Structure formats: C-alpha cells, structure tokens
A = this chain, B = another copy of it.
Amino acid sequence: MRPYNTKQREAILSCIRSLGDAHVTAAQIAERCLDVGRTTVYRHLDRLTKDGTLRRYAADSVSGACYQYTGEDGCGESHYHLKCESCGKLEHLACEELSAVERHVLGKHAFLVNAQKTVLYGQCGDCLNQSFEGE
C-alpha cells in the first residue's frame, strides 16, 4: 500500500529533507510542522523508519528517540557516526580503515556490523582543544 499524498505527509517530508543529515527528535519535527498532530508525526516517523528513509537512534532513554534522514532511496553510503559527548555534534566517518574493522569483527568475532546505525561516542577535536585550554 503506497502512502497517500496528504498535506501532513508533505509537511513532514519537506521538513526532514530540509534537515540534511542532522538528527532530530519527534518533538522537533512536530514543532516545525504546526499543522500536523503529534500522532501523525509519530506514525510517519515510524513508517519512514521502516521503509528506510529515516534511521532511528536511541540518543537517550529519557529525552526520546532521534531520527536522521538517509535519502528517499534508503541507500546512503556506509559510514559511521561520531557523536561528541561534550557539544553534541555529530560527524560522519567514512574511511577504509573502518571497513577493515568490519571485516575483522565479522571474521574473528562473528558479528556483522551495521555501520549506518553505529555511533562512536567520544570527544570531537574542538572540544578536546577547549578542555586543554580550560583546565
């Protein structure tokens, strides 16, 4: 069953498309789509996550889930995410070195890594510098 073209659906799609690869919560989407009910936002987010248009992350069990646009076709190249625990910035990391790790983990540890969904937590360069200066 392919979805109807309703104005709510358009509003939500246009909103997440405009976000690029930024991460947003359901609440943020709802804020930007004033004419759309919360329920509808959740239903579309859910649906878009299932068909691969969005990816869902558990950013924090208290503040709610986080979604990221991956492109209408659901492909998107394989890359990891680096999330800075200090400033919250999220960077992308696409690098041959990491592909080697994936092969290693699969071969030696029998685990197929899903790079798309994986987030490496830590400190970004900027924040590392700041903490040097500050302390």
Chain B residue nearest to A26 (CB atoms) is: B61
Interface residues of A in 62-112 (CB under 8 A from B): 62-66, 82, 84-85, 91, 93, 95, 97-98, 101, 104-105, 108-112
| Complex contact B109–A114 (CB within 8 A) | no
Q: For the complex formed by this chain, how many copies does it contain in all?
A: 2
Number of interface residues of A (CB under 8 A): 37
* One of B95, B111, B128 near A112 (C-beta < 8 A): B128
A66–B63 Cα distance when bound, in Å, is 15
Complex interface: chain B residues within 8 A of A66 (CB): 61
A120–B110 Cα distance when bound, in Å, is 13
Instruction: A62-B65, A117-B122 given; name 13 further pairs at CB < 8 Å.
Output: A58-B58, A61-B61, A82-B111, A82-B113, A91-B109, A95-B109, A97-B105, A110-B128, A111-B124, A113-B121, A113-B122, A114-B122, A114-B123
User: Hey, which bits of chain A sit against chain B, CB under 8 A?
Assistant: 58-66, 82, 84-85, 91, 93, 95, 97-98, 101, 104-105, 108-114, 117-125, 128
Q: How far is the CB of A67 from chain B (nearest CB, A)?
A: 11
| Complex contact B105–A120 (CB within 8 A) | yes
